[in-house]
Structure 1
Amino acid sequence: MTSVSRTLDVQQFINEHRFSRYQWKILVTCFLLIAIDAYDGLAIGFVVPVLVRDWGVNKAAFGPVLSVGVLGLALGALLAGPLYHRTSPKTVIIGAMLLFGVCSLGTMTANSLVSLGVWRFFTGIGVGAAVPGAATLMYEYAPRRMSAFLVNAIAVGALIGASACGLTAAAMVPTHGWTSVFLIGGVLPIVLAVFMLAAMPQPLHFMVQKGYPGHRIAAVLRRIAPNAAIDDDTRFVLPEAQDAGKQGVAVVLSKQFRTGSVLLWAAYFFGTFAYYLLVGWLPTLVQDMGASLRNSQLITVLLTVGGIVGTFLFGWLMDRFDKYTVVATAFALGGIGIWLVGQQRGDLAWVAVCVFAGGIGLSGALMSMGSLAAAFYPASGRSTGISWMHGIGRFGGIVGPMVGAYMLRDGFSLAAVFTVVMVFVLLSSAALIINSATARRSAANGMQTESA
């Protein structure tokens, strides 16, 4: 048996021990949570063609239903931020999962565009509220040598969940009807929520910052390292300084973090603007280049496949190099890849290569933003910081497809459309470069103040 001192830095403790089976359980659970979130958030898009036929409604009439779901995602993230610190991240995660599970089941009863829109709005609120908590939970149980990679690993769940939703719809809808998609999407989060209630801990830094009883913190640490003997009177501390008078929104908007927060919001907003514009219109744009419907859909999937590769790659790089530089470079590479798509002249093989490269950069960078935000904020503002970045950034996902529709309506050339997308992706890169420079300048000023 090894022993530890009476004052214990919980992050140092995690850093010094191997990644345990208990941490693997947290990783897998958070991965499943985000995968199920993505499934429920995107499910409506896969059943619209069936509802158009069954309800006899014009396809364009479903536009507001799709938009209100994204609006729910944004509002859910914004509302969840303060709740994470007023209650606890675990409470909000479980409550959010139960909400979107019940609302997914409720969607099965929809018989009009209005009722469908209401159910999707509240589903979106639940989905938007749950995701940031998963990133916080994983980050606070990850050794710093691999924290970005692990947070990015659970973020890949969003891409897997989206793909699983499409496969489920293709397999289930023809024989069991469109409601089967939402039956699965309702049962899974409720089951996972019950499991998390019984088996998952609170985020570790949150427990220390909130002054949880020492025996509860010690019990969690013993799950990570069973051979560590922790005294009953151990005082647990965090690696970063905490402002006892501030938490949640007050931390995110404080003088120390305000500029960085705005730049993170801007980077995520511009990135989601570009990503959702592409997801919504890329099949149409590729068809305009001469591709068949099937080939245009397959090429669009490469945006997601590239994202899986990029998310793991950039997570690995972020643990070894400056995080801002890595993600800013990823956005820049993604922007160039997307721009090159518009420069092709009917060569679909090269279009596919460029879309894949653009997906590595753009999708991989977006999936890495959670890791960036988790590392930027202290425990007292981490969950809110991640939530608000997601919430404000999601509005880009509402605006992007609308701008794409206006460009196509006004006769923009293919090259012009992809150039506009590239500009917004490069704006994300620029915001992170500025954020990195600002952080270095603040650190330098702090060191000068201390030496003075």
Structure 2
Amino acid sequence: MHTIRVSEMIDEQKFNRFHLQILLCCIFIIICDGYDMFMLGTILPSLMTEWKITAVEAGLFSSYALFGMMIGALVFGPLADKFGRKKVILICTVIFSIFTFTSGFADTPTSFGIQRFIAGLGLGGVMPNLIAIITEYAPKKLRSTLVAIMFSGHALGGVVVSLGAMYLIPNFGWRAVVWLGALPLIFMPILYKMLPESLNYFILKNQKSQLADVLNQVEVNGKYTANDHYVLHEKSKNDSTGFPVKQLFKKGRTVSTIMFWVAFFMCLFVMYGLSTWLPKIMEGAGYELGSS
């Protein structure tokens, strides 16, 4: 029986078809995530006109989804460690796809807002798990690059919804833009087949056969079997246990942790605030909705 240090083996691999497969799956999901998140800005002027709501009421729509994202990230992140990242990613994708689609049938602001909140749960849960699974399988030299490439799909989703709305809203109304958010459901069987489960989950559940199958795809000429002994990474005496967030404030990391949080808060504040209100601001300045 051989002892396989999984993390070290993954780090040493070259980019191959298996890595490309994971990357494409994650890019597709994050594009759909970006489409859903930036969608509100494209339809907000139409919602305000149809439902005769104020800017304050319209702003709540964005807040509902963002509150859902915050809760989703906090809940589905830990759940992925217990039930597997693949399962959580697919469940979250189904959640935001279904409730985005059904929000297109909403006839009141309240109904629309509730469904945006539930969709936000899925949006928030899927993003950190996509980053985690890319990081887990990526070769060490390409890890940051692959995460950056994958995450750029979020902005691409914003481009797609903007271009799509230019055609859909004048011809079919804002609901058509929302209904298109159900597209990931069509590809769910492909995603289920192509996206691998987390390495940590395989080891935690002692699923050696499944782990060996995946590692033989990671390493083209690999000959791993269920009889091998698998270790994700070597534990050191400095490894900590307990509530992990506490570790962010230990060993002199308090100031840097707070500064990172402030930087991310301001970045997201600008990004989501601008994406939500820019079309309405431009329309108010005299531009046509399509140009906005």
Structure-1-length-normalised TM-score = 0.57
Deviation at 1:59, TM superposition (A): 3.4
Q: How does 1:28-47 map to 2 (within 5 A)?
A: 28-47=24-43
Q: Distance in 2 between matches of 1:24 and 1:17?
A: 13
Secondary structure of the residue aligned to 1:110 is coil
**1:267 pairs with 2:284:** no
The 8 Å contact of residues 33 and 192 in structure 1, kept in 2 or not, is answered as no
**1:79 pairs with 2:95:** no
Cα separation, partners in 2 of 1:213 and 1:266, compared to 1, 3 Å? same
Q: Structure 2: which amino acid aligns with 1:234?
A: D
Q: Structure 2: which amino acid aligns with 1:44?
A: L
Cα separation, partners in 2 of 1:279 and 1:127, compared to 1, 3 Å? closer
Secondary structure of the residue aligned to 1:228 is coil
Deviation at 1:143, TM superposition (A): 0.7
**1:104 pairs with 2:100:** yes
The answer for the alignment partner of 2:201 in structure 1 is 206
Q: How does 1:252-331 map to 2 (within 5 A)?
A: 252-254=244-246, 256-259=247-250, 260=253, 263-264=256-257, 266-277=259-270, 280=273
Cα separation, partners in 2 of 1:120 and 1:7, compared to 1, 3 Å? same
Q: Distance in 2 between matches of 1:30 and 1:262?
A: 33
Q: Structure 1: which amino acid aligns with 2:265?
A: T
Q: Distance in 1 between matches of 2:102 and 2:271?
A: 30
Unaligned stretches of 5+ residues in structure 2: none
The 8 Å contact of residues 39 and 161 in structure 1, kept in 2 or not, is answered as yes
Q: Distance in 2 between matches of 1:14 and 1:83?
A: 24
Q: Distance in 1 between matches of 2:136 and 2:91?
A: 20
Q: Distance in 1 between matches of 2:173 and 2:135?
A: 39
In structure 1, which of residues 9, 13, 16 is the aligned counterpart of residue 9 of structure 2? Answer: 13
Q: Structure 1: which amino acid aligns with 2:263?
A: F
The answer for the alignment partner of 1:226 in structure 2 is 220
Q: Structure 1: which amino acid aligns with 2:25?
A: T
Structure-2-length-normalised TM-score = 0.85
Q: Structure 2: which amino acid aligns with 1:230?
A: Y
The answer for the alignment partner of 1:25 in structure 2 is 21
Q: How does 1:411-430 map to 2 (within 5 A)?
A: none
In structure 2, which of residues 166, 170, 174 is the aligned counterpart of residue 174 of structure 1? Answer: 170
Q: Distance in 2 between matches of 1:265 and 1:151?
A: 23
Cα separation, partners in 2 of 1:214 and 1:73, compared to 1, 3 Å? same
**1:194 pairs with 2:155:** no
| % same residue | 24
Cα separation, partners in 2 of 1:159 and 1:201, compared to 1, 3 Å? same
Greater Rg by CA? 1
Q: Structure 2: which amino acid aligns with 1:165?
A: V
The 8 Å contact of residues 33 and 123 in structure 2, kept in 1 or not, is answered as yes
The 8 Å contact of residues 98 and 190 in structure 1, kept in 2 or not, is answered as yes
1:68-104 CA distances to partner (integer Å, 9 max, x unpaired)? 1111111111111221123221111111111111101
How many residues get paired?
Answer: 281
Q: Structure 1: which amino acid aligns with 2:200?
A: H
Higher relative contact order (CA 8 A, sep 6+): 2
The answer for the alignment partner of 2:55 in structure 1 is 59
Q: Distance in 1 between matches of 2:35 and 2:264?
A: 21
Q: Distance in 2 between matches of 1:269 and 1:277?
A: 12
In structure 1, which of residues 130, 139, 143 is the aligned counterpart of residue 139 of structure 2? Answer: 143
**1:90 pairs with 2:86:** yes
233-242 or 152-161, larger mean C-alpha shift: 233-242
